[in-house]
Structure 1
Amino acid sequence: MYGTSTKKMLNMLILDILKEHSDSEHRLLQQDIIDLLNSEYGATCERRAVKNNITSLQEMGYDIVADKGYFLRKREFTDAELRLMIDSIFTSGAITDKEAHQLVKKLEKFSNKYFKAHVSHIHSASSGKNAENQNVMESIAAIDTAISKGKKIRFTYLQYGTDLKLHPKRDIRYVVSPYQMISSKGKYYLIGNYDAYDDISHYRLDRVTDVEILKDARKPMKSVKGLENGLNIAGHIAEHVYMFSGESEHFKLRANENLMDTLVDNFGKDLRINYSEGTDIVVDLKCNPDAFFYWVMQYGKYAEIVEPQSMRERIKQASLDIYKRYK
């Protein structure tokens, strides 16, 4: 029950009602607003007060339409934008189911009750692939602070055991210079440099726990192999399809042009393409060798490595090993 100050905040209560109960298909009459003020806030007012307060809100810049009733037209996010963000949250493997639901609840505050009813089915559509590490959000916050301050971090890195539970991968904790956090293929990664080496390393953030920010300054990017000229995030993701560490190399492969969607999805648009015979194309690209190896093993039926010869031999040997296992 609202007290004597209700009249002073009546315009904000009306705004809340319009946010929650109205859209272009659900317009509120003055009496509807009066009834909702009473049922939800214990507030009473006259029709004239409703009209005057809505006019005041319009003068403040709120896009309230008065046509056969009232509704709030423009919001912070459209329904389509909210749905896209909610779908992205639930398909992300970087956070737990509980954290996903908490984030969605926060986003729903930017919608109305009709939108919430439309997306309620998503809440039970968990894929079962969400992260099990309960400290992901804390890890992200700590790493973000370390990146901002230019400090090294120490953390425990986890991996699954045969009991299907997460355990420390090593007895010792990792010391890493953190540079950037990125999303790739539904997973969230930290790009950094492991203290004992001088190249790039990647860490799944849903495997990182117990993050400690150290006093030591992180290594300068220019001293890390692959980051001498800074970090081009889009290019880095394209060259590290499966987030393997190590420097990228140039490759040339032959494939049918029907594979173009897959090539662009995985390697981006930084490709040099020439036609070979018929609808075949020869593609020049740059990629991490381990990532490229696994990509070719996946799409080997549709693509052939032209060069370098060392990768052709590696694929040939792997194919023979698989053949021997199944013959």
Structure 2
Amino acid sequence: MVIINILDILKKYSDMDHRLTQAQIIEILKKEYYMDVDRRTVKRNLMNLLDFDFGIDYTEIIKKNEKGEEIPICTDWYITREFDDSEIRLLIDSVLFSKTIPQKQCKKLIDKLKGLSNIYFEKKVNHICSLPEIRPENKELFYTIDVLDEAISKGKKVSFIYNSYGTDKKLHPKREREYVINPYQMVATNGRYYLICNYDKYDTLSNYRIDRITGIKMMNEKRKSIKELKEGEINLPKHMAEHLYMFAGESIRVKFKAKNYIIDQIIDWFGFGPKITKQDEDTCMVEVEVNEEAFFHWAMQYGLHIEVLEPTSMRERIMSAIKELNDKYVTH
């Protein structure tokens, strides 16, 4: 057990900034593992760990013995880490800011990620917390992801119940019968996890919220080939840029005028695909291919900063929505 415990000590207490001498390792072995070992035993096991290529490193210094002979001494032992602290923090933040993972599973996952580092990292992230009130409670989430992952890799259809929240803040089936779909890809966007798939009745792609799926089963039936659909393939960057809010349906070509100060937001939402032409110091012209329903919601969100010019149907739809809003709020 000595070699296993020494490896555990190095993982728990060391990195490039926190190195351990053999004397410190001996002390921890005695205090935490109730093992009395001598310096030669520790050194032998450390050298074995070096041979086993566990990412162990050290500093070599030269000391003189009683006879004045120079002897190399190995000290300042540490383990090199697969992830540095900033990378682990980024992964933890990704979990923390996900709007999909239930509270208990989120905490377990963060604890596992903390375990990739050492005690010094844990002290730095003790303040991390999440907001339970905005967390969904679909306990089947990770199981659903596992089944979808297997079905996608094996090219099989899946069936499931698709839910929506009621006034009781609980999930309820949207319809009595199960959905049967052809799964192709899972993607994360806007803090949500989505399934890109096809419903047999249509030749287009659909998007489903994975945290709204329950009762999933992989079927024996082979899924429809993506080549049979109108898209022919999934160009993921293009698909994500066109489906801002992951609405299904056709994409259209939109032309709108925008204030230059929201170009950052335009690129955040649409990527680098849109054609952006500077008009003057204040405005620019933007042309983009985007899902029709998604663009309508985006245009309403940024309505104070843009003006939709084409297509006419989209411009008229926005005008109608503005009139309806005005009628709701105007003082009689």
TM-score normalised by the chain length of structure 2 = 0.90
Question: Out of 175, 179, 185, which is 2:184 matched to?
Answer: 179
Q: CA deviation at 1:47?
A: 1.3
Unaligned runs of 5+ in 1: 1-5
The AA in structure 2 aligned to 1:150 is G
Shift of 1:317: 0.5
Matched-pair contact (CA < 8 Å) for 2:16–2:80: no
State the Cα deviation string for residues 123-153 of structure 1 (Å, max 9, x = none): x333532221110011111111111111111
Counterpart residue identity of residue 118, structure 1: K
Partner of 1:198: 203
Distance 2:14 2:40 in 1: 20
Match of 1:79 among 56, 61, 85: 85
* Paired position in structure 2 for 1:16: 8
- The one-letter amino acid paired with 1:296 is A
User: Are 1:283 and 2:286 counterparts?
Assistant: yes
Structure richer in strand, relative to its length: 2
Partner of 1:3: none
SS of the equivalent of 2:304 reads coil
The equivalences for 1:160-171 within 5 A come to: 160-171=165-176
Pairing 1:262-273 to 2, within 5 Å after superposition: 262-273=265-276
Q: Which runs of 4+ in 1 moved over 6 A?
A: none
Q: Is the 8 A contact 1:22 1:70 kept in 2?
A: no
319, 327, 330: which is aligned to 1:316? 319
Q: Does 1:110 align with 2:116?
A: yes
Instruction: Give the C-alpha shift of residue 93 in structure 1.
Output: 1.5
Measured after TM superposition, the shift of residue 73 of structure 1 is: 4.9
Amino acid at match of 2:117: S
For the residue of structure 2 that corresponds to 1:152, the secondary structure is strand
Q: Which residue of 2 aligns with 1:56?
A: 48
Is the CA contact (8 Å cut-off) linking 1:31 and 1:47 kept in structure 2?
yes
Query: C-alpha distance in 1, partners of 2:33/2:244?
Result: 53
Aligned pair 1:153/2:163, yes or no?
Answer: no
In structure 2, the residue matched to 1:293 is 296
Cα distance in 2 between the residues matched to 1:39 and 1:251: 69
From 134, 137, 152, the counterpart of 2:142: 137
1:213 aligns with 2:199: no
**C-alpha spacing 1:83/1:141, structure 2 compared with 1 (3 Å):** same
Specify the structure having the higher radius of gyration (Cα). Answer: 2
Change (3 A) 1:64 1:201: same
TM-score normalised over the length of structure 1 = 0.92
1:42 aligns with 2:45: no
| 3-state SS, counterpart of residue 125 of structure 2 | helix
Structure 1 Cα separation of the partners of residues 188 and 18 of structure 2: 38
Q: Is the 8 A contact 1:155 1:175 kept in 2?
A: yes
Whole-Å Cα distance in 2 between the matches of residues 271 and 212 of structure 1? Answer: 40
Aligned-residue sequence identity (percent) comes to 42
The whole-number CA distance in structure 2 between the counterparts of 1:275 and 1:171 is 52
CA contact (8 A) 2:260 2:281 kept: no
Please show how residues 117-136 of structure 1 align to structure 2 within 5 Å.
117-122=123-128, 124-126=129-131, 128-136=133-141
Give per-residue Cα distances to partners, 1:144-163, cap 9 Å, x unaligned. 11111111111001100011
For 2:315, the aligned partner's letter is: R
SS at structure 2 position matched to 1:281 = strand
- SS of the residue corresponding to residue 81 of structure 1 reads helix
Structure 2, unaligned runs of 5 or more? 62-74
